[in-house]
Amino acid sequence: MITHQILITMGLMSLSLFCKAQTTADTVRSSPVTIPGNGLYEHDFLYAGEGGPETMFIVKGGSVVWAYMHPAKGEISDAVMLSNGNILFAHQFGVTLIDQQKNVLWNYDVPDGNEVHTAVPIGTDHVLFVQNGKIAKVIVMNIKTNTVEKEFEVPVGNPGQVHPQFRHARLTINGTLMLAHMDLHKIVEYNSDGKVIWTLNVPQVWGVTPLKNGNVLVAEERIPQVEEYDRTGEVVWSYSGKDLPGFKFGGWQMAYRLDNGNTIINNWAGKGNKTQVQFIEVNKQRKLVWALRSWDQPADLGPSTILQIIDTKNRSENVQFGNIR
């Protein structure tokens, strides 16, 4: 097993031979030999993935500057870096906050028979997460006092099938919660009292991202497809894997809208599918402007789940849920 130190050392090596152009002749890739963008140099980002081993990386200036391997069982389904550099991540059987020295600052282990796959920081004192289970719950914990400040039950399609119930939830600019009900095939918006205030049927919903314009960006895994819905339920923008002939995709789970209007989409490819790209970026005109394919040393990032662009303008914890902020 590669140690953290070796991973970091490898990541700090020059990547110019790998990620500047990515034009090396290759006849086995299931995406084109030449892909657009500048590889790892395109963005600074936090990267996390599931599929063994469960790892997270910070990439800056084209190099891996930080690497973490989760020491327990589970899959890293969600991760976010706060503006102070701490990282909150959900890993199937718990939620953990660590600093970049890998010290555990806070941890919550789910009860037996439950799972957790998404977590959202609220300020520096609160964490919201969704607990899959026979009785599924939205929970907000004060991580300073380690107490539950709010919780409410949410419906599921099959209480006996815990794993496929929920993967992704995010808070809106209005302080409500947008939750992807995977096994109910719909998106539901809840207020902080657990009241349903909006719902939309989406057959293969996995990821949901509320946008600043009030619309909702949705990733449907197996189609694979991303749609932007307005609040009437109309699709105002969409992008499909069929729009990229020559590429093969395992499944689209998450989608993010950048400030410049571009959309970043993850392509989950398991451990045995290292021929695929891990992320793509498309513009409003549906043109592919960047694709990340980083399966080889010195930057083997592994299967993709989460990519968070690192910038100084957006503070991920600057959200609220009702009066909790």
Contact 75, 54 (CB under 8 A): yes
Contact 221, 206 (CB under 8 A): yes
Range of the domain at 101: 4-309
Q: Is residue 191 part of a domain?
A: yes
Q: How confident is the model at residue 50 (pLDDT cuts 50, 70, 90)?
A: confident
CB-based burial label for 193 (10 Å; 0-12, 13-18, 19+) = exposed
Alpha carbons 12 and 214: distance in angstroms, whole number:
40
Q: What is the mean pLDDT of the chain?
A: 90
Q: How confident is the model at residue 232 (pLDDT cuts 50, 70, 90)?
A: very high
How much is the pTM? 0.90
**Percentage, residues of the chain above pLDDT 70:** 90
| pLDDT of res. 297 | 84
Label each residue of the chain as H, E or C. Answer: CCCHHHHHHHHHCCCHHHHCCCCCCCCCCCCCCCCCCCHHHCCCEEEEECCCCCEEEEEECCEEEEEEECCCCCCCCEEEECCCCCEEEECECEEEEECCCCCEEEEEECCCCCEEEEEEEECCCEEEEEEECCCEEEEEEECCCCEEEEEEEECCCCCCCCCCCEEEEEECCCCCEEEEEHHHCEEEEECCCCCEEEEEECCCEEEEEECCCCCEEEEECCCCEEEEECCCCCEEEEEEHHHCCCCCCCCEEEEEECCCCCEEEEECCCCCCCCCCCEEEECCCCCEEEEECCCCCCCCCCCCCEEEECCCCCCCCCCCECCEC
Nearest by Cα to 50 from 165, 136, 163, 160: 163
| pLDDT of res. 30 | 67
Q: How confident is the model at residue 31 (pLDDT cuts 50, 70, 90)?
A: confident
Q: Is residue 316 part of a domain?
A: no
Statement: residue 19 has pLDDT above 50: no
**Percentage, residues of the chain above pLDDT 90:** 81
| pLDDT of res. 33 | 84
Q: What's the distance, CA 320 to chain centroid?
A: 19
Q: Is residue 242 part of a domain?
A: yes
Dihedral, CA of residue 196, residue 197, residue 198 and residue 204, to nearest 10: -30
Statement: residue 145 has pLDDT above 50: yes
Amino acid at the residue 253: Q
Contact 285, 45 (CB under 8 A): no
Q: Is residue 9 part of a domain?
A: yes
Structural domain count, the chain = 1
Nearest by Cα to 194 from 323, 90, 322, 95: 322
| pLDDT of res. 18 | 36
Q: How confident is the model at residue 28 (pLDDT cuts 50, 70, 90)?
A: very low
| pLDDT of res. 272 | 63
Q: Is residue 219 part of a domain?
A: yes
CATH of the domain at 89: 2.120.10.30
Statement: residue 10 has pLDDT above 50: no
Amino acid at the residue 143: I
Average pLDDT, integer, range 227-233:
97
Statement: residue 11 has pLDDT above 60: no
Q: From residue 70, how far is each of 79, 94, 104 by CA, in Å? A: 12, 11, 11
Q: Is residue 318 part of a domain?
A: no
Q: Is residue 230 part of a domain?
A: yes
Average pLDDT, integer, range 31-54:
91
Q: Is residue 319 part of a domain?
A: no
Statement: residue 317 has pLDDT above 50: yes
pLDDT digits (tens, 9 = 90+) for 96-137: 999 999 999 999 999 999 999 999 999 999 999 999 999 999
pLDDT digits (tens, 9 = 90+) for 258-314: 999 999 999 998 766 777 999 999 999 999 999 999 998 889 999 999 999 998 788
Statement: residue 92 has pLDDT above 70: yes
